[in-house]
Structure 1
Amino acid sequence: MQALEVCGVFLASSVRDAPPDRRAHHSFGLSDPEGFAAMGVVETLVHGEDLAQGLKRPWEPPSDLCARSLHRLFPDAPTDGEARPTLLWATGRGSLPGHDDRKDGWRWDARPAGER
């Protein structure tokens, strides 16, 4: 957990100190600081979920972080349900009632909104 906290500090300071028009490479395309912050949040949320399930520990990530990350990186994700299960569905980690089964080959879209 301490390593995750340190990585979070690095990400937060990098995003905070970067000009909003700065672009950086990601394997899914160029992103802005806001996109990199959202990617870091999603990585923490979904891998936290993975760890909790593997260790059989309770895990309830903040709903607002799930919702904001979905909005930023998965603009086509359904908005009519709870954010956590929708985020797990969008990242191929679960099913979502009323939608296609578990997603294979998912991708987020971290490009700035004005460049989509």
Structure 2
Amino acid sequence: MRRQAEQDAATPGPVTADDLDRAVQLALAALRDAPPEAWDANAGTLEWDCWETVEHLADDLFAYAAQLGPRKPPLDDEVPFVWESRRPGGPSNAIHANRSAGPAGLLQVLEASGALLIAMVRTTPETVRAYHGFGISDPEGFAAMGVVETLVHTYDLADGLGLGKGPDSAWSPPADVCARVLHRLFPDVPSGHEPWPTLLWATGRGELPGHDRRASWRWYGEPRG
């Protein structure tokens, strides 16, 4: 019984559409507090401004939904949308928000893109597989990727938008959601640390006691057997 309890504690459970929905809604709530004049500032250490970073996040969520969309999802490449950058050095996106709609419109684009992925994860059979550059994945994997993108880019945005950084940040996502995406996508990370700092370390954004800061990183999208 004790061994089973230890195994259960080490396996936080699958990442679900509800986890993604929760992450997106929490991100939206945090970002709505940003002052309108702050959106042209860089998002944390990224080379993109905060507006572009939200477009990039919305584009990620849209693209993951699109990968699961065809009756026979591609296993060797991405669905061939045209991704374009609006300026040299900016993110290459298929999704761009209308600037005249302001920050409220930008966040609506983010919410709509998140809703597409949430719906696809809810309705796609768990046996379906689709291509991603970090490993052919299943609906749970794409949900986990969407959660990671949402959590870490909202961290970048909170810094750039003046919502605080580190322990003073307005952005501190739920530990249980962080634990589930770490288990699903980052089997190589060290154990024994709090989930959110570990996720920041895993994505090259933070420090972890006893471990060098990551200069490069990736996740592993393949289903874990």
Could you state the TM-score of these two structures normalised by the residue count of structure 2? 0.49
Q: Find the residue that maps to 1:51 and give its secondary structure.
A: helix
Which of 198, 206, 210 aligns to 1:86? It is 198
Q: Name segments (4+ residues, structure 1) moved above 6 Å.
A: none
**Counterpart of 2:203 in structure 1: which amino acid?**
T
Write out per-residue CA displacement over residues 61-102 of structure 1, whole angstroms, 9 at most, x where no aligned residue. Answer: 111111111111001212211111100000011111111x22
Does residue 75 (structure 1) correspond to residue 181 (structure 2)? The answer is no
Q: Structure 2: how far apart are the matches of 1:29 and 1:110? A: 5
Show the counterpart of 2:103.
none
Show the counterpart of 1:46.
152
Unaligned runs of 5+ in 2: 1-106, 164-169
Measured on the aligned residues, the alpha-carbon RMSD in Å equals 1.1
Could you state the TM-score of these two structures normalised by the residue count of structure 1? 0.92
Show the counterpart of 1:110.
221
Between the aligned residues of both structures, percent identity stands at: 64
Show the counterpart of 2:108.
2
Q: CA deviation at 1:3?
A: 2.2
Q: Structure 2: how far apart are the matches of 1:43 and 1:16? A: 19
Q: Structure 1: how far apart are the matches of 2:189 and 2:180? A: 12
Alignment map for 1:12-51 (pairs within 5 Å):
12-51=118-157
Which of 152, 173, 194 aligns to 1:61? It is 173
Aligned length: 113
More strand by share: 1
Q: CA deviation at 1:2?
A: 2.2
Which of 2, 8, 11 aligns to 2:117? It is 11
Moved more, 66-75 or 3-12: 3-12
Q: CA deviation at 1:5?
A: 1.7
